[in-house]
Structure 1
């Protein structure tokens, strides 16, 4: 799951529920005995987001974080099997441990947690559940209120988090990639340099790291020179340093998902008509056949990336807060099988 530190957790959670199709999952606040912070947890498919705010004016850590970064992702949590072992190995390799392994429990069972420092002010929490069967984590209760308006809205049709992108300052990408390789034993899954990801006005470099099973993917980006300021550099300046820029969420039916989310009032990035004119020309010389109706993809402004192995349909939301920092990304991958048919992932 991902934890956002925000100015008003109740309103942030409501936004994600109303606009993106999430539903309330759990709550922790004054009514449940939490005197310092309040957290609203929302869920859709396998995606879980936690929105946390300070309850007291003296919370300097959260206050400073909000002044510097605005609303943003503070923590990316991983489910693990052996928290103690992973923390000890990470410590041996030089990782900074923010919170040592500790147990939290309630009537539903026990969970062991530990927190490591990664890029910028972002952290990773290791979560060892060991049979815990509560709604979320110990100390969280059922939501106190579920908005009846949500039941009247079409489904968001989002399934799981595909990857989480971390933007870095110039020349910081490789050291961060090495941090993941050294401390979490991730490996390089994919990489691209500014010669490959470059437009007339902007460019970036990116390396994707993944765990052994490749169920966790973390693209690490840094800006490159272009005629205009890179979107990566813009993010770093507005966010006040390195941080999570976008969260990619998978959907098995991107056309229905985008139609539904637009009906819910979600705003997406625009794409010029010339993009689709050029796309049609390029597809004439490709063995890839797009199953979906290109006129519908153009109507919804869905992007198409393809190679000889298949294609990816994708779209980006506009920033989900006033600073041009955190955005959401929706994607639907189709691969070509050996017999030439298409298979959605």
Structure 2
């Protein structure tokens, strides 16, 4: 399994195409996958494919979505080896099948896909590809498997290379059900568990990972009424994708470029870096830490692990944008993993939680 693409429903697809190009260095992909009722644009960076759809008519499925939810992620599409088996499992566990399996052959490419309902307004398109060269005519069809992308251009110079993880927020009391749903239907496995609590609010989180390890899906639920997860659920009018983490190989340089483009990021107090220096085993030189502090990047590391060439601490560098839409729902994370760093660091998780609490206080939604 891998993430094939993520589909955003927005009010103006062309405006958001330009936003991704200008702020994050994505490439706009020339295509003709819009229908008479919906405009769809595609942007790409490395292995990351985003579809952006907006309504042209009130009858568009995007218009229907936006009447119920604010702009955000409507669909996360997974590429699987056996779509028929996945749909059969979904039916066995009473998941809602929104689109039965369709088969298409375009040129030498053979495609199967279906779609299931997940949590809130979120859906999952399931795609099985047996590909030769994708024919150009695939882009000229109006709607094949809900406008899923085919072969994508790779931009080797782009800062963003892959999707690291996608975070789902669910209502209080639904975490265990969501975990079981992803276990039973898509064969995800539970990994790390977090219970983050401050003096003001709290959340519970369960990290789910696909069997092959290539897809990470943390699921959060609120643990207090004023939790930032509850604020998301209230504003989003239900469960949904809170953020997507985009991986880069040089986070300091990438964030410097993003800041220069005008991207708004969450602030980190400089006292955070003074505290980091007191923590034993900091695997950064003073010069590196200074550059990281200048860009307000969070730092976390694990215990030293014997690796070839000496003892090196696996290191996580993370930073988060402000919500990108008008309402405080969806945001992006940027992440760099060094020295085989796996999973998620609790220190960074807590620092993110506290940074979002600060934004809640500014909005007046957290007393």
Q: Deviations over 1:27-63 (max 9, x none)?
A: 3356xxx21222101000100000011221233x432
Flag the 1:336–1:97 CA change in 2: closer, same or farther, 3 A.
closer
In 1, Cα distance between equivalents of 2:239 and 2:167: 11
Q: Deviations over 1:58-82 (max 9, x none)?
A: 33x4323213322100000011122
Contact 1:113–1:125, Cα closer than 8 Å, also in 2: yes
For 1:260, the equivalent position in structure 2 comes to 257
Flag the 1:55–1:104 CA change in 2: closer, same or farther, 3 A.
farther
For 1:24, the equivalent position in structure 2 comes to 28
What is the Cα deviation at residue 107 of structure 1?
4.4
What is the Cα deviation at residue 171 of structure 1?
1.1
Flag the 1:328–1:100 CA change in 2: closer, same or farther, 3 A.
same
What is the Cα deviation at residue 132 of structure 1?
5.0
For 1:190, the equivalent position in structure 2 comes to 192
In 1, Cα distance between equivalents of 2:109 and 2:337: 38
Contact 2:203–2:223, Cα closer than 8 Å, also in 1: yes
In 2, Cα distance between equivalents of 1:69 and 1:214: 31
The root-mean-square deviation of aligned C-alpha atoms, in Å, is 2.1
For 2:199, the equivalent position in structure 1 comes to 200
In 1, Cα distance between equivalents of 2:233 and 2:52: 22
In 2, Cα distance between equivalents of 1:26 and 1:105: 21
TM-score (norm 1): 0.85
What is the Cα deviation at residue 21 of structure 1?
0.9
Contact 1:111–1:138, Cα closer than 8 Å, also in 2: no
Q: Deviations over 1:299-323 (max 9, x none)?
A: 1100112231422110001111111
In 2, Cα distance between equivalents of 1:202 and 1:140: 50
Q: Deviations over 1:263-306 (max 9, x none)?
A: 12211110112111111111xx23x4125611111111001122
Report the secondary structure of 2:333's partner residue.
strand
Deviates more, 1:106-115 or 1:294-303: 106-115
For 1:148, the equivalent position in structure 2 comes to none
Q: Unaligned regions of 5+ residues in structure 2, if any?
A: 142-156, 305-313, 342-367
Flag the 1:140–1:119 CA change in 2: closer, same or farther, 3 A.
farther
Report the secondary structure of 1:289's partner residue.
coil
TM-score (norm 2): 0.80
Q: Unaligned regions of 5+ residues in structure 1, if any?
A: 142-154, 338-345
Flag the 1:253–1:158 CA change in 2: closer, same or farther, 3 A.
same
Flag the 1:275–1:140 CA change in 2: closer, same or farther, 3 A.
farther
In 2, Cα distance between equivalents of 1:247 and 1:71: 15
In 2, Cα distance between equivalents of 1:187 and 1:137: 38
Contact 2:38–2:62, Cα closer than 8 Å, also in 1: no
Report the secondary structure of 2:65's partner residue.
helix
Pair 1:211-2:210 in alignment:
yes
What is the Cα deviation at residue 136 of structure 1?
9.1
Contact 1:188–1:209, Cα closer than 8 Å, also in 2: yes
What is the Cα deviation at residue 140 of structure 1?
4.7
In 2, Cα distance between equivalents of 1:244 and 1:137: 32
Report the secondary structure of 2:86's partner residue.
helix
Q: Deviations over 1:103-155 (max 9, x none)?
A: 244446342110011111101111112115338993458xxxxxxxxxxxxx6
For 1:325, the equivalent position in structure 2 comes to 329
Mapping of 1:295-314 within 5 angstroms? Answer: 295-309=290-304, 310-314=314-318
In 2, Cα distance between equivalents of 1:235 and 1:135: 41
For 1:116, the equivalent position in structure 2 comes to 116
Q: Deviations over 1:201-254 (max 9, x none)?
A: 23211001111111011110011228xx22211111111110001000111100
Flag the 1:319–1:56 CA change in 2: closer, same or farther, 3 A.
same
Flag the 1:106–1:187 CA change in 2: closer, same or farther, 3 A.
same
Report the secondary structure of 1:100's partner residue.
strand
Mapping of 1:209-288 within 5 angstroms? Answer: 209-225=208-224, 229-282=226-279, 285-286=280-281, 288=282
Contact 1:6–1:72, Cα closer than 8 Å, also in 2: yes
In 2, Cα distance between equivalents of 1:211 and 1:236: 25
Q: Deviations over 1:69-101 (max 9, x none)?
A: 221000000111221122112212322211000
